[in-house]
Amino acid sequence: MKRIRSVVRGCGSYLPPRLVTNKDLMEFVETSDEWIVQRTGIEQRHIAADDETTSILGIKAAEAALADAGLQASEIDLIVCATSTPDYTFPSTATMIQNGLGIHHGAAFDLQAVCTGFVYGVATADKFLTSGSHKRALVIGAETFSRILDWEDRTTCVLFGDGAGAIVLEAQEGEGTPADRGVLTSHLRSDGRYRDKLYVDGGPGSTKTTGVLKMEGREVFRFAVGMVTDVVRDAFESTQTTAEQLDWFVPHQANKRIITASAEKLGIAPEKVVITVNKHGNTSAASIPLALDTAVKDGRIKRGDLVMIEAIGGGFTWGSALIRW
C-alpha cells in the first residue's frame, strides 16, 4: 500500500577549523596520545573559536545540506535542531539557524536528547512529514561541547569535540515496502533512572549556571554496549530486514571500542561500520550527521543503500532509525 516516506534529499556538515590533537591536550592535562587512542580510538577533535556558536556551526552545515540537495532555503518548512549546547537558554538554536538561513515561515525547534538527539530528530521530523503537515525538513545536529567541559578533568575533556551535520528530508510517495527510499522505521527509548551516570551539573532552573559534564565512564561504556542493541534489533524486526542486508552501520561516535563491540554483538561486518570518532572525537548530537556526510562524500554511502543509525546518550536516551538512502 502506497505511503509517504521521508526521503533524504541531501546532507552536509561543518567542522570548526581549529584542530586539537591528543598531543596538544598534554599541555592542559596529564594524559598521552597512547592512552587516548587505546581507550577511545580518538586521535584529534575540532574545537570552536569563541565567536563560533552552535547556531553558526548549524547554519554552515544546513547550507551545505541545502546545496547538496539542490534546494533553496525557502523550500524548507521545518527545522529540527538537536543540541545540548544551545547558544542561549532561549530562543532556540533552531530559530537562530532558521533566521540565519533567511527562512521566515514554517516551524523550527530544538530537541534535547543529548547524544541521541539526531536520531530523535530524524524520528520526529519523519512523523511531521509522514503526517502530511510539512513537506521538507532540515534535521540538524550541532554542538559546542567544548563549552561544557571541565578542561582540568582528564577523564572527560579528552573525549569530546565540536561540529555540526545536517540532512534534508522530503516527503515523497513510496510503495510501502522496505525497498522504498526514506526513513523505513525508527525506535526511541529513554530511562531517567540513569541520570547520574552522565549529566551536566548546572542549568538555568537549578544552579543558574551552565555547569560542566560529569560521567561515570566505565558504567556508560557498559550500558552503551548493552542497551543500544535492543532498538537496532527492533528496527530489523519491524522492517523484516537483517544485519546481512545492511549496507552501512553509522552509530553515534563516542568511542571506537563501544562501536566495535556493538557491531560485533549485532552481527554487523566490520567493513560496514562507519567510524569517524578518530578524527572528530565525540560531537554528541552532531556525530551521526557528520559521519553520514563523511561516508556520502567519500563515496561509501550511495543512493538506495540501507543505512542504520543508532545512538545512546545522557538520560539515558537511546534510539535507532533505518533509512534507505
Site string for ligand ACO, 107-136 (x = CB under 6 A): --------x---------------------
Contact indicator for 285, 143 with CB cutoff of 8 Å: yes
d(CA 296, CA 260): 21
134 is catalytic: no
Give the binding range for ligand ACO (CB under 6 A) out of 10-18, 33-41, 63-71, 264-272: 33-41
C-beta neighbour count of 303 within 10 angstroms: 9
Half-sphere exposure of 75 (CA within 13 A, CB side): 15
Beta-strand relationship, 198-200 and 3-14:
unpaired
**Terminal Cα-to-Cα distance of the chain (whole angstroms):** 20
Give the binding range for ligand ACO (CB under 6 A) out of 5-13, 51-59, 126-134, 154-162: 154-162
Task: Tell me the closest approach of the beta carbon of residue 161 to ligand ACO, in angstroms.
Answer: 11
Q: Give the total residue count for the chain.
A: 325
* Non-local CB neighbours of 104 within 8 Å, separated by 6+ positions: 98
Contact indicator for 121, 80 with CB cutoff of 8 Å: yes
Q: Does 266 bind ligand ACO (CB under 6 A)?
A: no
Which residue lies nearer to ligand ACO by CB, 79 or 198?
198
d(CA 296, CA 175): 25
Task: Tell me the closest approach of the beta carbon of residue 29 to ligand ACO, in angstroms.
Answer: 6
Q: Which of 15, 37, 13 is nearest to 26 (CA)?
A: 37
Site string for ligand ACO, 192-231 (x = CB under 6 A): ------x----------------x-xx-xx--x-------
Which residue lies nearer to ligand ACO by CB, 108 or 259?
259
11 is catalytic: no
Task: Tell me the closest approach of the beta carbon of residue 1 to ligand ACO, in angstroms.
Answer: 38
Tell me which residues are annotated as active site.
Answer: 115, 252, 282
Binding interface with ligand ACO (CB under 6 A): 31, 35-36, 39-40, 115, 154-155, 158-159, 198, 215, 217-218, 220-221, 224, 252, 254-255, 282, 312-313
